Amino acid sequence: MNLAGWVERNGRRLPDRPALAVGERVHADWARFAASAASVAAGLRVELGCSPGDRVAVLMDNRPEYLEALFAVWHAGLVAVPVNARLHRDEIAYILEASGTSVVVTDAGHADDAESLVGTVSSLSAVVVAPGERWARLLGSAPIPVTERGPSDPAWLFFTSGTTGRPKAATLTNRNLLMMALSYFADIDPVSPGDSILHAAPLSHGSGMYGLPHIARGAVSITPESGGDGAEVAALLSRWSGLSFFAAPTMVRRLSSDPALAGGALGDAGLANLKTIIYGGAPMYLADLEEAIEVFGPRLAQIYGQGETPMTITALPSSDHADRDHPRWRERLQSVGFARTDVEVRVVDDDDNELPTGEVGEVVVRGDVVMIGYWGQPEATAETLRGGWLHTGDVGSFDADGYLTLRDRSKDLIISGGMNIYPREVEEALLRHASVGAVAVVGRQDEEWGESVVAFIVVTPGAPSPTVEELDRLCLDHIARYKRPKDYRFVEALPTNNYGKVVKRELRDQLRSG
């Protein structure tokens, strides 16, 4: 079983149909996409010396070469390590080292960071810039057949995390990703060769995942030229049919209020080619969701998932968004829907006993879509997958109809603009300042971003208080810009429990109370 077989098959079946596009322009038909994947796969194996099972990272902004590289990696029997292109160089280095990555395929905008890590990351031997001279050489390699891989062989290392420590790599197999794609067809949408998917969100995360069922069925994958503003979305709706895209709630809200789309600007004709907007990754305010339904009609679907069970735990399909006559319509809009076709979902107590309807506990899930474990971390794997169930760390409850409502998220995880921010990473950066004696980072509700990062800081006794500019610079030197706190609060002490652990709930309560 090899996912690259999808591209190879479409290259024969749909050779002249568009496969990859930039905005309104076709970059490659299926014949060219298949040929590129087969040739680059040969170059990875022959010229760069990769062997089946080796890890190859893809570090670039959304562009057609991203998908060409991803499927070339699989074609060659290698394991893909998609890396968020917005990460800091040090964070990229950690991911490459932890995964044992041997080759990085990147773009010109990230080439300096990637090339500077050769000789620093122990396993890293080569960097390929696409497009570029070395990429062109790989494209010129004599193609090889799709490499045979087993259902349980790793295919994608999805770097995620709990809420403390370094990110962990959820090891997703060919079976996991196949089940994810089949579940999309079962629960969200059928997909046809005439359809399209717009990648306005990072391909390294949700958008790349949702792209897989579209590639499997021969739809065209589009990377926007603008990043996905309202004017371009409107133009693309007139160019491409059956268009779907994944968006964080912040992006849905922005598009709903964009002059090119809001207030009926598109009209019925302009909406005819819009198939589905899939949203998730963070809570969405009911008022924002109702506004989006007014603008786009009942074309929204919510998916609740995690990297450990890729995009597949529950779903709130478009039919529920459209069912205004249901007495609990708004209540359902605030849920994350019901369990997907290919998984079992429960809410359990601290002893993993299943709780009755209405009671709040931890959400656990099992099924063939759930990861086989964390790469190189057997203890974390055993803890998270204990008893054969993935323990999500999310807290929620089911109603009598089987709809799940989340009451809290994974411990202290912050989600800002659809991006996961792990407080400890920010805390570790701030603790590099000599005057910072203690720090705790929490999320605060933010109307624009969903949440914003707030740092509570205790100054070292006798030391001068650090300036905001100093703290900002420290963060920018060590972590991605989007993780930098929006607000610093200087306090005498942090609230702790009897064991000396910081009680972040009290800090969040302080922010809510003003």
> What CATH number is attached to the domain comprising 111?
3.40.50.980
Beta bridge partners of 195: none
Between helix 30-46 and helix 4-13 the angle, nearest 10°, is 140
Is the CB of residue 193 less than 8 Å from the CB of residue 221?
A: no
The pLDDT-based confidence of 447 (bands split at 50, 70, 90) is confident
Give the pTM: 0.86
Coil, strand, or helix at residue 209? Answer: helix
Judge whether 366 lies within some domain: no
Do the domain assignments include residue 477? yes
Could you tell me which of 211, 291, 284 has the C-alpha nearest to residue 245?
211
pLDDT in tens, 172-190: 999 999 999 999 999 999 9
pLDDT at position 224:
95
Is there a domain that residue 72 lies in?
yes
**Quick one: pLDDT at residue 394?**
87
The residue from 105, 132, 149 where one domain ends is 149
Query: Is the pLDDT reported for residue 472 higher than 80?
Result: yes
pLDDT digit string, tens, across residues 45-63:
999 999 999 999 999 999 9
Answer yes or no: is 422 within a domain.
yes
Q: Which of 149, 182, 213 is the last residue of a domain?
A: 149
pLDDT digits (tens, 9 = 90+) for 78-95: 999 999 998 999 999 999
Look at strands 338-339 and 309-316 and give their pairing. Answer: antiparallel
CB 199 within 8 A of CB 222: yes
- What burial class does residue 24 get, using C-beta atoms within 10 Å of its C-beta: 0-12 exposed, 13-18 middle, 19+ buried? middle
Q: Report which of residues 230 and 369 the model is more confident about.
A: 369
**What pLDDT score does 415 carry?**
84
Q: Is the peptide bond before 131 cis (omega within 30 degrees of 0)?
A: yes
On whether residue 305 sits in a domain, the answer given is no
- The pLDDT assigned to 512 comes to 86
Pair 196, 270: CB distance under 8 Å: no
Amino acid residing at 219: A
**Residue 464 in 3-state DSSP?**
coil
Written as six digits, the tokens of 497 are 């429990």
Distance, CA of 17 to CA of 337 (rounded, Å):
35
Total structural domains in the chain? 2
Q: Which amino acid is at 8?
A: E
If one counts every other C-beta atom within 10 angstroms of the C-beta of residue 152, the result is 11
* pLDDT for residue 410: 57
Q: Within a domain: residue 334?
A: no
Question: Exposure of 387 by Cβ count < 10 A (0-12 exposed, 13-18 middle, 19+ buried)?
Answer: exposed
3 state DSSP class of 22: strand
CATH number of the domain within which 465 lies: 3.30.300.30
As a whole number, the mean pLDDT across the chain is 93
pLDDT at 196 over 50: yes
Domain boundary among the residues 127, 149, 171 is at 149
68, amino acid identity? E
- Per-residue pLDDT of 480-513, as tens digits, reads 999 999 999 999 999 986 546 688 888 988 998 8
| Structure confidence at residue 489 (pLDDT) | 96
The Cα 55–Cα 154 span in angstroms is 10
| DSSP per-residue letters across 379-418 | HHHHHHTGGGSEEEEEEEEE-TTS-EEEEE-STT-EEETT
Full domain range(s) for residue 99: 1-13+33-149
- pLDDT > 70? residue 411: no
Q: Find tokens 């009598």 and name the residue.
A: 400
pLDDT (0 to 100) of residue 164: 47
Give, for 154, the enclosing helix (H) or strand (E).
strand 154-160
Average pLDDT over residues 367-391: 97
Confidence class of residue 227 from pLDDT cuts 50, 70 and 90?
confident
pLDDT at 161: 53
Q: How far apart are CA 260 and CA 194, in angstroms?
A: 25
Least confident of 95-99, 196-200, 509-513: 509-513
CB 277 within 8 A of CB 244: yes
* Residues in contact with 256: Cβ distance below 8 Å, sequence separation at least 6, in sequence order: 262, 288, 291, 292, 294, 295, 296
Residue positions counted in the chain? 514
pLDDT value for 360: 87
pLDDT of residue 505: 84
In a domain, 497, yes or no: yes
In a domain, 124, yes or no: yes
Q: For residues 84-109, give the mean pLDDT.
A: 96
Percentage of the chain beyond pLDDT 90 is 78
Q: pLDDT for 351-361, tens place per residue?
A: 999 999 999 88
